[in-house]
């Protein structure tokens, strides 16, 4: 009887043992898979972090390169501006020297050449137009160019077509040049040289037109003006200066 019962229980016991073994194997497989998945996830995370670090580094390198390029561009612009400022200062100094020289050669209208400067000979009456022009030129000598513009315009408007009005026209262009009102100076001096080509100031008017064009960075136009000056007034001091200026452009 006992043997028969044992035979009946044996398959059950064997089935239970098999089931326990399968479960253990399944557990080990799950643990192994979980460990493998964890390792793969960690590897992918490390790879992503490395890529992000490399991208940040690349972005920083690009930013530094952009900043260096911007600084180089700014240095170049500063050098150009400094050169232009030096050229402008030199032209301004040349204009002042030229202005002083030309104004120094002018005689006061109807004055006694032997009288000390600043004194007018009492023997001759000064015409109103001469007095107005003398006052404007005296203001110009004092480098009060704004006031000189007003006074010179008054001479032109009050005595149109007169020799004094024509003279005032030229010095009006000079005054605008000294004020760096380049467009106005170019217009006035160009018309003066065109209307009065035989005037003693015509060649200098064209030279000043070129100076104003250079100040406006209109170098091609300035070359045309200087060549015109050399062609129309060869051998004059203005033409010699024009040749020097052409060589420097």
Q: Are residues 70 and 172 in the same domain?
A: no
**What is d(CA 11, CA 207) in angstroms, rounded to the nearest whole number?**
125
**Cβ(199)–Cβ(182) below 8 Å:** no
pLDDT tens digits in sequence order for the chain, 249 residues long = 555 555 555 555 555 555 667 667 777 777 777 788 878 878 887 877 787 778 877 787 787 778 878 878 888 777 777 766 776 676 667 676 777 777 776 654 433 333 334 444 444 578 999 999 999 999 999 999 999 999 999 999 999 989 999 999 999 999 999 999 999 999 999 999 999 999 999 999 999 999 999 999 999 999 999 999 999 999 999 999 999 989 888
Q: Are residues 156 and 221 in the same domain?
A: yes
Q: Are residues 66 and 91 in the same domain?
A: no
Q: Are residues 74 and 151 in the same domain?
A: no
Per-position b or e across 201-230, b if 16+ CB within 10 A of its CB: bbbbbbbbbbbbbbbeebeebbbebbeebb
Q: What is the pTM of this model?
A: 0.62
Closest CA to 213 of 202, 222, 205: 222
Q: Are residues 65 and 183 in the same domain?
A: no
Residue carrying structure tokens 């160019």: 145
Mean model confidence pLDDT for the chain: 81
Phi, psi at 235, each rounded to 5°: 85, -5
Q: Are residues 148 and 64 in the same domain?
A: no
Q: Are residues 136 and 182 in the same domain?
A: yes
Q: Strands, E, within 73-165: which ranges?
A: none
Per-residue pLDDT reduced to its tens digit, 179-207: 999 999 999 999 999 999 999 999 999 99
What is the pLDDT at residue 62?
Answer: 81
Structural domain count, the chain: 2
**What is d(CA 170, CA 189) in angstroms, rounded to the nearest whole number?**
7
What is the pLDDT at residue 140?
Answer: 92
Per-position b or e across 39-49, b if 16+ CB within 10 A of its CB: eeeeeeeeeee
Q: Are residues 80 and 91 in the same domain?
A: no
**Cβ(24)–Cβ(16) below 8 Å:** no
Q: Are residues 46 and 92 in the same domain?
A: no
Q: Which domain holds residue 74?
A: 36-84
Q: Are residues 72 and 134 in the same domain?
A: no
Q: What is the DSSP letter of 107?
A: P
Per-residue pLDDT reduced to its tens digit, 72-90: 888 877 777 776 677 667 6
What is the pLDDT at residue 76?
Answer: 79
* 114 found inside a domain: no
């Amino acid at each position: 009887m006992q043997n028969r019962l044992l035979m009946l229980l044996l398959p059950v016991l064997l089935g239970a043992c098999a089931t326990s073994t399968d479960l253990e194997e399944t557990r080990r497989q799950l643990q192994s898979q979980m460990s493998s998945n964890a390792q793969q996830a960690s590897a992918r995370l490390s790879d992503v972090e490395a890529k992000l670090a490399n991208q940040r580094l690349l972005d920083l390198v690009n930013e530094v390169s952009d900043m260096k390029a911007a600084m180089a561009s700014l240095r170049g612009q500063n050098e150009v501006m400094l050169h232009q400022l030096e050229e402008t200062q030199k032209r301004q100094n040349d204009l002042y020297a030229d202005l002083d020289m030309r104004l120094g050669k002018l005689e006061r209208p109807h004055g006694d050449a032997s009288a000390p400067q600043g004194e007018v000979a009492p023997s001759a009456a000064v015409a109103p137009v001469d007095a107005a022009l003398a006052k404007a030129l005296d203001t110009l000598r004092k480098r009060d160019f704004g006031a000189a513009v007003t006074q010179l315009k008054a001479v032109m408007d009050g005595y149109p077509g007169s020799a004094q009005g024509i003279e005032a026209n030229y010095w009006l262009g000079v005054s605008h040049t000294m004020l760096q009102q380049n467009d106005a100076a170019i217009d006035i001096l160009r018309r003066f040289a065109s209307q009065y080509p035989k005037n003693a100031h015509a060649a200098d008017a064209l030279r000043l037109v070129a100076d104003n064009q250079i100040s406006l960075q209109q170098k091609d136009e300035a070359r045309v003006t200087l060549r015109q000056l050399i062609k129309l007034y060869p051998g004059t001091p203005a033409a010699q200066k024009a040749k020097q200026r052409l060589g420097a452009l």
